[in-house]
Amino acid sequence: MNSLPEATALLASGDNFLLTTHLHPDGDGLGSMLALGRALKSRGKRVEMVLAEAIPSSYTFLAGAQEVRREPPTDFVPSLVIALDCGDRTRMGLPPSFSFPPEVPILNVDHHLSNDFFGRVNLVDPEAAATGELVHRLLSAGGYKLDAAMATALYVAIATDTGFFRYTNATRSALALAARLVEDFALEPGKIAEIVHEQKSLNAIMLLSLVLATIQLALDGVVAWMYLSQEMLLRYPVEIEETEGFINYARSIVGVEIALFFKEAKPGEIRVSWRSGPTVDVSQLAAHFGGGGHARAAGCTIYADLAEAVERVLGFLAAWHRARERQR
């Protein structure tokens, strides 16, 4: 069941709440958990917020962050488990040692398109810019009184998950809600952003340096491509998500219409990320290699070594480029 009234009723009915979000928590997961936890406490509920991992230092300033525990208190049996920003049950950041009785319901609050509705009750809306937007909906429907701390947590959730209003999920309503939170509680967006500035590992930055050094232009500067080999990854080990933004550097070069990032996932398996501006639909181009995605962001996998994968893609694009030039 995917229902706001049911979700609100569930919050009103129980007394012992276990809240969690996903591992490698981001501003949306943490902000959503902290805002909801604080609201429930304000109604006199017992709230345990659990995450089997340290909270990134950029978010420890949020009220309640110090109360998040690595594991629930011994013998704590929740009446309701609330998963925030988790696409499926395995993403929930509870410690492996902890289990709760199967009759305890899960409330699943999330905005991922891939969400598999694992909760007894679900509040899932892929149209929402952030899970924080859904928490705000939940608190409004339940008549909870927001305070500045909750507003800050929800602002952080929305601002960070929309890349500070730059990603395609940065909707009108997300910006309007963020502005309203800022206005109503006299928040200072510039100061908040200064604190939650993106943190990176040293390895991720050194790896970025190596990858940027591989950038080459092709087809009169229409294409920029770069690569990440296993050798480079061994030198600077990182979580693979830490390389996700790398392709934007190639994409940002003046005149470039198509950016390509060849990642050697393992020897002989090359994952290719495609990005483009408004002039090219890369999902159509990636489809030639069995891939897909969106017009501006697509991907494909090529089973070959790095040099051959690059040659195949650039060869295909050269033909595409010639055909396009003829049509102009």
Please state the closest distance from residue 257 (CB atom) to its own copies, in A.
10
**Residues 100-139 as x/- pattern, contact with its own copies by CB under 8 A:** ----------------------------------------
Q: Does 53 bind its own copies (CB under 8 A)?
A: no
Cβ 263 vs Cβ 253: under 8 Å: no
Chosen residue from 12, 77, 205, 318 binding its own copies by CB under 8 A = 205
Q: How far apart are CA 116 and CA 247, in angstroms?
A: 29
Q: Does 197 bind its own copies (CB under 8 A)?
A: yes
Residue with smaller CB distance to its own copies, 121 or 174: 174
Q: Does 90 bind its own copies (CB under 8 A)?
A: no
> Residue 124 pairs with which residues in a beta bridge?
110
Chosen residue from 113, 202, 234, 323 binding its own copies by CB under 8 A = 202
Please state the closest distance from residue 60 (CB atom) to its own copies, in A.
11
Chosen residue from 91, 137, 251, 321 binding its own copies by CB under 8 A = 251
Please state the closest distance from residue 56 (CB atom) to its own copies, in A.
8
Please state the closest distance from residue 103 (CB atom) to its own copies, in A.
41
Reading phi first (left if > 0) and then psi (alpha if -120 to 50, else beta), residue 17 is in beta
Q: Does 188 bind its own copies (CB under 8 A)?
A: yes
Q: How far apart are CA 290 and CA 293, in angstroms?
A: 11
Please state the closest distance from residue 236 (CB atom) to its own copies, in A.
11
Among the listed ranges 21-29, 144-152, 168-176, 283-291, the one in contact with its own copies (CB under 8 A) is 168-176
Cβ 154 vs Cβ 35: under 8 Å: yes
> With contacts defined by CB under 8 A, how many residues of the chain interact with its own copies?
57
Q: Which residues contact 44 (CB under 8 A, 6 or more apart)?
A: none
Among the listed ranges 3-11, 39-47, 76-84, 178-186, the one in contact with its own copies (CB under 8 A) is 178-186
Chosen residue from 113, 213, 234, 319 binding its own copies by CB under 8 A = 213
Q: Which residues contact 193 (CB under 8 A, 6 or more apart)?
A: 159, 164
Across 119-139, b (16+ Cβ under 10 Å) vs e yields bbbbbbbeebbbbbbbbbbbb
Q: Does 169 bind its own copies (CB under 8 A)?
A: yes
Residues 256-295 that bind its own copies (CB under 8 A): 277-278
What string of H, E and C letters represents the secondary structure of 138-155?
HHHHCCCCCCHHHHHHHH
Q: Is 297 helix (H, G, I), strand (E, B) or coil?
A: strand
Chosen residue from 131, 162, 229, 283 binding its own copies by CB under 8 A = 162
**Gyration radius of the chain's alpha carbons:** 22
Q: Which residue in 268, 265, 267, 284 sits closest to 276, CA to CA?
A: 284
Among the listed ranges 1-9, 109-117, 244-252, 311-319, the one in contact with its own copies (CB under 8 A) is 244-252
What string of H, E and C letters represents the secondary structure of 44-72?
CCEEEEECCCCCCHHHCCCCCHHHCECCC
Q: Does 23 bind its own copies (CB under 8 A)?
A: no
Q: Does 191 bind its own copies (CB under 8 A)?
A: yes
Specify the residue for token string 């229409």: 222
Q: Which residue in 291, 288, 278 sits closest to 317, CA to CA?
A: 288
Looking at this protein, which amino acid is placed at residue 211?
A: V
Q: How far apart are CA 122 and CA 78, in angstroms?
A: 18
- Which residues lie near its own copies (CB under 8 A)? 56-57, 159, 162-172, 174-176, 178-180, 182-183, 186-191, 193-195, 197-202, 205-206, 208-210, 212-213, 215, 217, 224, 248-249, 251-255, 277-278, 296
